[in-house]
Amino acid sequence: MRLRDGWSRRELAASIFLALVISAFAGTLLLVAQTKMDGDSKGLGNLTEDAAGPPNFAKDVAVPMRDGVVLRADVWLPAASGRFPALVYRTPYGKHLATKQTTFQKAVERGYAVVICDVRGRYASDGEFWPYQHEGRDGYDTIEWAAKQEWSNGDVGTFGLSYPGAVQWLAAVENPPHLRAMVPAMTFSTPRNFFYSGGVFDGSWLDWTWFNIAPDLRRKKNLTGPRTHAEAAEVWKGEHERMQSFLPLSELPDLKGVAPFYYEWMKHPPADHWWDFAELRGKYGQVHAAVLNISGWYDEAYGPDGATTNFNGLLAARRGEKDPRTRTIIGPWTHGGQEEHRSGEREFGSSAAIDYDELILRWMDHYVRGMENGVGGEKPVRIFVMGKNEWRDEEEWPLKRAQAMRYFFHEAGDLGSGDERKHVGSLSLEASKESRTFSEFVSDPAHPVTNIYPEYGAHDYRALPGRDDVLVFEAEPLAADTEVTGPIHAEVYVSADVPDFDLWVRLMDVAPDGTAFNLNNPGSEVLRASYRNGGLKPELLESGRVYKLHFDRMLTSNVFLAGHRIRVQISGSFFPQFARNLQTGASEMTSAETRVGRIRIWHDAERESVITLPVVGK
């Protein structure tokens, strides 16, 4: 299982071991300064330098916030004397574990001071942890604190991935005056596509809290239960099915008293303005730093949306500037997999992996230190084209030269017989001329369509067609390579005999041998029918009435090779990554009763269900 911070259990165990080794090494070479500082202090106490040249290092340096809460940071300085540009890294995962990353050492060797800070309420820092809610002001205060230290020249950059990426944006929209550049990787643009997606609560917040957050909170609060990642993993092995299936969600006992924020989230539907503390859209004019956005096609669903929405938001806010100081890079990666050449079962070749450290530091060298290193002349968009497995630089996103190709849904039975083809319809460039035609599937929340793959990435879903709870629409084998690059839209006409349901519309690349790879991680392809208009309150359905559902959050860059098929897979659930719709009209947050539903997908001359692909010519 890949956790939301981008670390697998194996990687986290390795990082703990590495941290212990580094700690022991530092103990023999460095005199670690245990420094207590007030808000006006500029020193680092007994900061020392090793004769062999490792960075000066101070541990648990006090960083006061405007409300009096004290955060704590480790500060690394170059061996030479002087004032340095500073890079700030803020994390909820423990600054003592952040040493698994090589960026810090390389940055110091390059002449940067580095501040590695535990966010409020985590590990060495004081205060109470409420994810994301304090990160704007706390981030501002930490950046400005770093700029005012006697070892700082006043120029500050930030970097980090996932939560350490989100905190950069939340601070940047507060407009800290000394922030020059930032590299937020694999993070969001809006809470509506982050805590929820398409109106559906993201079920992976449970394991994120269980593994990454709860152990330290139990330690801090002196509560019983797992206090280490290893202990949490051992309990999870025997209990995760019960925890993930528990209803109502808000009554799950396992995090009560440990993580109150988890239960608070469930009180607020996706359109509630309560979530606006994490909203970035509409605030890009308040950001004045140079921003390098990074994500992957197999990142969590919010990642590609965040990298492209934030990029375009900055371009709009900086229209007319000679250098808009923003760029976006999207590879074929999973969450945190930017230095790998494989995503799940799909191999992309050695060029897919990047030197993440160098990417960060080149950006900082140019926009924080003012070095002319070629960064300013690079094209603003760099994407990895899957299938063709090559990088390509572009002038904009989405690509203006892409042509919309509409594939219409047609009823089942066009492409074969037998149980495995029982619920398989066709995709065609020609619209249906029939009247009152539909395909139907069953959706049972008590027995949901389950993702059998615990790891994110590309996986073979060929086993799903033929089930009563899955529909498939598939095109004929392609005569030539066909590149699909950009946003994907679908309009699906539906009716049901239940007052609510979720609809998943997943795009697949099907090889001649039957391998059916997904092109996104779960989340961008789901919509809760009762949230079809994005309103604050659910709009329940009338039995038998036909509604149009619009999907507009899918993104990819993929070449469907000659002989491959384009497939659309439809279901009413994809568990446990996302919560189940109970299909009674009641919320899974407060109810446990479920209802089986029959869902119809309409595809006739009057109701054209269609998926629109952005096709790029050679």
- What would the two tokens of residue 606 be? 């009057």
Residue recorded with tokens 């269609």: 610
Residue intervals of the chain classified under CATH 3.40.50.1820 are 9-195+274-394
Residue 422: the pLDDT is: 61
Chain center to CA of 386: 19
516-518 and 502-510 strand pairing: antiparallel
- What would the two tokens of residue 593 be? 């009763």
Please, which residues have CB within 8 angstroms of residue 502's CB and are 6 or more apart in sequence? 198, 200, 443, 526, 527, 528, 529, 572, 573, 578, 580, 581
Place 44 in a pLDDT band, splitting at 50, 70 and 90.
low
- What would the two tokens of residue 249 be? 């969600």
Residue 466: the pLDDT is: 86
For the chain, the maximum distance between any two Cα atoms, rounded to a whole number of angstroms, is 83
Would you say residue 505 has pLDDT above 70?
yes
Would you say residue 308 has pLDDT above 70?
yes
Residue 231: the pLDDT is: 97
Q: Which CATH architecture has domain 403-616?
A: Sandwich (2.60)
* Better-predicted residue by pLDDT, 7 or 320: 320
**CATH homologous superfamily, domain 9-195+274-394:** Alpha/Beta hydrolase fold, catalytic domain (3.40.50.1820)
Would you say residue 42 has pLDDT above 70?
no
User: What per-residue string of b and e applies to 194-208 under the rule 16 or more CB within 10 Å gives b?
Assistant: bbbbbbbbbbbbbbb
Residue recorded with tokens 């149009």: 548
pLDDT tens string 421-446: 568 999 999 998 888 899 999 999 99
Residue intervals of the chain classified under CATH 2.60.120.260 are 403-616
pLDDT tens string 481-495: 999 999 999 999 999
pTM of the model: 0.91
